[in-house]
Amino acid sequence: MIYKIHLVNRDIVLEYDSEKDKALSILDKAWDHDIFLKAGCRSGYCGVCQLKLLEGEVKYFYDPPPVLPNEGAILSCSAYPVSDIKIDC
């Protein structure tokens, strides 16, 4: 499946191929396109990469993630989309 990652505040849409990109997080996918989102540890422990999820669903490479994000937020460094998503970045 191909899911769309809509970075609302930047008016950018990325495509996430669940087969080809399965090892990439949302953060990785953005960085691969020279879209630099804030991040710290890049492993889900610091919470710096939190983004507000406006629409859609994500899963984490680790379930549960090392640190739970705030209500309505995701950890972009360790999450991947399982539907089309919209995030506030």
pTM of the predicted model as reported, rounded to 2 decimal places: 0.94
Assigned token pair, 32: 């691969």
**24-77 per-position pLDDT tens digit:** 999 999 999 999 999 999 888 999 999 999 999 999 999 889 899 999 999 999
What pLDDT score was predicted for residue 63? Answer: 87
Assigned token pair, 60: 């984490």
48 backbone dihedrals φ, ψ, rounded to 5° = -65, -30
Ordered structural domains, the chain, with CATH? 2-88 (3.10.20.30)
Positive or negative, the Cα torsion across 16, 6, 61, 76? positive
**78-89 per-position pLDDT tens digit:** 999 999 999 998
Q: Provide the 10 A C-beta neighbour count for residue 83.
A: 11
Assigned token pair, 23: 């090892």
> Please, which residues have CB within 8 angstroms of residue 31's CB and are 6 or more apart in sequence?
37
